[in-house]
Copies of this chain bind each other. A is one copy, B any other.
Amino acid sequence: MLDFAILGLLHDEPRHGYELKRALGELGFWQVSFGSLYPALRRLEKQGFIEATKGEGRRKAYRMTDTGDARLGELLTDSDDGSDREFQLRLAFLGRLEPQHRLGVLEDRRTALQDRLHGARRSFKGARSSARKPDRYRMALMERRVRSTEADIAWLDELIAGERSARAGA
């Protein structure tokens, strides 16, 4: 997953390690550690997806190779572990994907969230009428899960609507 993030960020422009950490952090959902980042850069370099060039001072600027660009394309279409983080990552780089494939990504996510919502509602209602009803704190946790999933779907629907009108208007 970090490979995905790094390649996505390097697609825009070459960056050095520290800057990658900052840029990824600024996306808001992943404060990656150096202990993950630097080994990942080695990994990607060894695989030929990125190249190190010496930048100003101590900096090592990494830039994507053609193979790396192809790899990013693969990751954008193929992989999907269903995690929140991966979806957010995919969304951050969705502009890289051909427009006709974008809606599918959003709709797949919507299906996954619907499933999650059903599960969350089921366990909330189940717990409420259970013999050994969970305490109010655990009930609150379940309610939060229902509500935040609903909110996420609503947000996603706006995004989907925007995508459709962008497609129509083009």
Q: How far is the CA of A91 from the CA of B144 in the complex (A)?
A: 12
Closest Cβ–Cβ distance, residue A163 to chain B (whole Å): 9
Q: How many chain copies does the complex carry?
A: 2
Establish whether residues B141 and A27, one from each chain, have CB atoms under 8 Å apart when the complex forms. Answer: yes
* Dominant SS among interface residues on chain A: helix
Counting contact residues on chain A (CB < 8 A from B), the size range is 20 to 34
Establish whether residues B29 and A138, one from each chain, have CB atoms under 8 Å apart when the complex forms. Answer: no
Chain B residues within 8 Å of A136, by CB: 162
Q: How far is the CA of A49 from the CA of B147 in the complex (A)?
A: 36
Establish whether residues B151 and A147, one from each chain, have CB atoms under 8 Å apart when the complex forms. Answer: yes
Chain B residues within 8 Å of A60, by CB: none
Nearest B residue to A135 by beta-carbon distance? B95
Q: Does A79 contact B (CB under 8 A)?
A: no
17 other A-B residue contacts (CB within 8 Å) besides A29-B141, A88-B141, A92-B137: A27-B138, A27-B141, A28-B123, A28-B142, A29-B145, A91-B138, A92-B138, A94-B137, A95-B135, A137-B159, A140-B155, A143-B155, A144-B152, A144-B155, A147-B151, A148-B148, A151-B151
